[in-house]
């Protein structure tokens, strides 16, 4: 039996009728929601129209509970289950309740810790509690860092048609991210191969014992045949800059500091909500979750692949 029971013909239960078509939709949509997609994707015009502002904010706030999970997946589940809490009763014949349609026993397994602003004790009827619990459940079943999003959604409701419908809606809720160029793929692949390499101030690679932040990014772009300056501030100044609300693409450089003239750190965007960087002395090159929309020190992003091989 599904972890979340559904009422036949109830809210959000209109799903694809053909298993083969459902499988094809799942395969296509997973490509946009797994690494290379957009965990921190900007809402599409459809999302802004379809999702109540308070619910949209909650989906976006809860998604980082599971590193690499796109808020669009949470929103799509909320759409299928109760049309974002618009369903009149939000009670299924099997006893699933609340905006994310949890069975009370299932909810209890993912209700803690109580999220900021949630009820104490937590309840599946509260949107904050329910959406955070949904993020945790997805994470526990494969959504962390996009490892197996299909399995995660299938664990939420044991129906391939349900998975296809959720992922289809999720793809409509995000502004489409640019497809990575060949150069960007090379940049990210090179950076991933350096994971675990020690941080060395001024380091340009293993021959010098390791990398610092801009040494890593310069070397990654050199591997793709693209010349960029050496230090973070110069790399930021070189551009080309990405508009503030434009979706990020793998290979983009992310810059941090106290201001656009005081950039002190740079990393490589590697997928949905992920960045590869050489962080600081005593650390190693790593790939880690980062939500730039929540970081006050984020100064912007550039896309050197737009310049090709010019320096």
3-state helix/strand/coil string of 232-249? HHHHHHHCCECCCCCCCC
For residue 139, the SS3 value is helix
Q: Is the dihedral of CA 157, 160, 161, 165 positive or negative?
A: positive
Closest to 165 in 3D by CA, of 83, 77, 75: 77
Q: Is the dihedral of CA 260, 262, 268, 271 positive or negative?
A: negative
According to DSSP, the β-strands at 210-211 and 253-257 are unpaired
CATH T-level assignment (fold) for domain 182-307: endopeptidase fold (from Nostoc punctiforme) (3.90.1720)
**Cα–Cα dist 35/22, whole Å:** 21
Element (H, E) at 68: none
Which strands, in side-by-side order, build the sheet including 253-257?
286-289, 274-277, 263-271, 253-257, 298-302
Instruction: Give start-end residues of each CATH 3.90.1720.10 domain in the chain.
Output: 182-307
Q: Are 74 and 65 in contact (CB under 8 A)?
A: no
Q: Are 172 and 46 in contact (CB under 8 A)?
A: yes
**Cα–Cα dist 121/134, whole Å:** 17
Q: Are 293 and 40 in contact (CB under 8 A)?
A: yes
Which residue(s) pair with 174 in the sheet?
43
Instruction: Give start-end residues of each CATH 1.10.530 domain in the chain.
Output: 19-173
**Cα–Cα dist 37/109, whole Å:** 29
Q: Output the pTM of the full model.
A: 0.56
Tens digit of each residue's pLDDT, the chain (311 residues): 334 444 333 333 333 333 444 444 444 444 445 433 344 577 888 999 999 999 999 999 999 999 889 999 999 999 999 999 999 889 988 899 999 999 999 999 999 999 999 999 999 999 999 999 999 999 999 999 878 999 999 999 999 999 999 999 998 998 776 777 889 999 999 999 999 999 999 999 999 999 999 999 999 999 999 999 999 999 999 999 998 878 888 999 999 999 999 999 999 998 877 899 999 999 999 998 887 877 899 999 999 988 754 43
Query: Quick one: CATH architecture of 19-173?
Result: Orthogonal Bundle (1.10)
């Amino acid at each position: 039996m599904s972890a979340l029971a559904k009422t036949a013909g109830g809210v959000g239960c209109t799903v694809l009728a053909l298993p083969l078509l459902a499988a094809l939709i799942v395969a296509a949509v997973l490509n946009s929601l797994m690494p290379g997609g957009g965990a921190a994707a900007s809402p599409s015009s459809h999302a802004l129209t379809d999702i109540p502002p308070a619910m949209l904010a909650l989906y976006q706030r809860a998604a980082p509970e599971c590193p690499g999970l796109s808020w669009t997946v949470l929103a799509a589940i909320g759409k299928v289950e109760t049309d974002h809490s618009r369903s009149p009763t939000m009670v299924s014949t099997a006893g699933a309740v609340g905006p994310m349609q949890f069975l009370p026993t299932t909810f209890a397994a993912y209700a803690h810790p109580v999220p900021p602003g949630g009820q104490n004790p937590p309840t599946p009827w509260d949107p904050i509690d329910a959406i955070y619990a949904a993020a945790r459940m997805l994470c526990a079943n494969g959504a962390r860092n996009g490892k197996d999003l299909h399995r995660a959604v299938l664990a939420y409701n044991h129906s391939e048609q349900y998975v296809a419908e959720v992922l289809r809606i999720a793809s409509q809720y995000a502004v489409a991210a640019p497809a990575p160029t060949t150069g960007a793929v090379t940049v990210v692949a090179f950076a991933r191969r350096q994971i675990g390499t020690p941080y060395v101030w001024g380091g340009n690679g293993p021959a010098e014992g390791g990398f610092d932040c801009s040494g890593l990014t310069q070397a990654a772009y050199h591997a793709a045949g693209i010349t960029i300056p050496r230090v973070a501030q110069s790399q930021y100044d070189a551009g080309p800059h990405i508009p503030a609300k434009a979706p990020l693409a793998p290979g983009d450089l992310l810059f941090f500091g106290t201001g656009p003239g005081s950039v002190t750190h740079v990393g490589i965007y590697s997928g949905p909500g992920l960045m590869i960087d050489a962080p600081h002395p005593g650390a190693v090159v790593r790939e880690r979750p980062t939500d730039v929309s929540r970081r006050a020190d984020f100064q912007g992003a550039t896309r050197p692949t737009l310049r090709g091989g010019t320096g």
